[in-house]
Amino acid sequence: MLLHKPINDTNNNIVTANKNPLVDCTPKEFELLIRYRDRYGMRAAVMGGAHTVNQLIDFYDTSEHITCITGCFSGTLGYLCSELEKNEKQFSEIVKDAVDMKFTEPNPIDDLNGRDVARKLVIIARSLNYPVNLEDVKLESFIDTNKYLGYSINDFLNKISEENESISKKFREAKEKGQTLRYIASLEITDRPPKLPNLKVGLESISKDSILGSLKGSANKISIRTTIFSEGKEYIIQSPGAGIDVTATGIRRDLLRMLKGRKSGNYHL
């Protein structure tokens, strides 16, 4: 993806839920894309259309120093964790349910390998002007998807029952400790730029009563610590995190934000 000098002066706007253009480009190209804040609508790329990216950019533009971000950014994996916590169905059954409800990416492997979450974390870091790439994320997949490379979606769904026992064991062991498992992305800033933050994505055992441990269903949540919103009074954003309707709503909100001379309407008409 190559961006040329005219992008600085174009009057064209873009609204998208597609994470790939925001991650596959270079950090410098990303910077050019969002230099004019109302030009590139990307709220639907992270947390299903919540105001996460917009809020982080506002923090950056007002010099509010962010120290730590932790979140569950995948409605799909959040749904899997919540259902596995109930211990009523096998992992393979829950994945098939998620596919039927259209909670997953077109290919569910793209959720289970964790790269979708890692892309969202890169977008968040780049929105704070950190020149990171996907390779900078320490990534632990939900399951080892390498063994399923080349499988069709149907073959994969028929084969993942092999993961049932190992996944059940992980959740059983967490429960025995009074904890639960969540698929968490984290960004920890140990120093201000130019030093890069620590970026990590993976399955973690946490307290059921914690900010992320209390999540249910496909909900997404992010906890942001700054110099003002410090530990114990974190800035929290929670939203529905999966489904075509949720994403479509985020796109519509970005389109509304770009309307010039937007006026109030009449909800009852």
Catalytic residue list: 120
Query: Which two structure tokens, joined as six digits, stand for 31?
Result: 């910077």
d(CA 67, CA 51): 19
> 37 with 258: CB under 8 angstroms?
no
> 250 with 220: CB under 8 angstroms?
no
For residue 20, how far is the Cα from the chain centroid?
13
d(CA 37, CA 57): 9
d(CA 179, CA 136): 29
Q: What CA dihedral angle connects 64, 69, 75 and 76, to 10 degrees?
A: 150
Query: Which two structure tokens, joined as six digits, stand for 14?
Result: 């873009």
For residue 266, how far is the Cα from the chain centroid?
34
